[in-house]
Structure 1
Amino acid sequence: MQFKQYDVVRIVELLSPVKEVKSEFNVRAPEPGDIATIVEIYTNHYLGYELECCDSAGNTQWLVTFNPSDINIELL
């Protein structure tokens, strides 16, 4: 499936362990069932999706870049 920038997706499965990324944007690690927005799609050298998950107040819970082989996501 072809995803577009700003699509809202749900993480179905993490196919590779998430590398620990320490930053002010990561309150917790991504988990299956999380709903996120595709904020950037990278196409130079490899395909990648930068996903952002926010809580109900709009605060970022995590902001992580995934290779398609690392994650199984579905469009909402």
Structure 2
Amino acid sequence: MSEELTALSKAGRWPETAGLITDEMVDAFAIVAGPDELPGRVAERFGGLLTRLSFTPPPSLDREAAMDLVARLRAC
């Protein structure tokens, strides 16, 4: 898999790489969830092991909702 992804990237064929990456592969490295489900998914997966978390809130999330999400994530 890595050789094929490398070859496609070197050829500038980035759109084709998406078809090779499965949801299971993404789940191994990331949590993909909406703001309402994110804190629960983080708690499930990492259960108090985290000391740092990086995420990008969706642009549609207003400041108050983003701050609420941060507070709920800190409680994980």
So what's the TM-score if we normalise by structure 1? 0.24
Whichever structure has more strand as a proportion of its residues is 1
Give 1 or 2 for the bigger CA radius of gyration.
Answer: 2
More relative contact order, 1 or 2 (CA 8 Å, 6+ apart)? 1
Higher helix share: 2
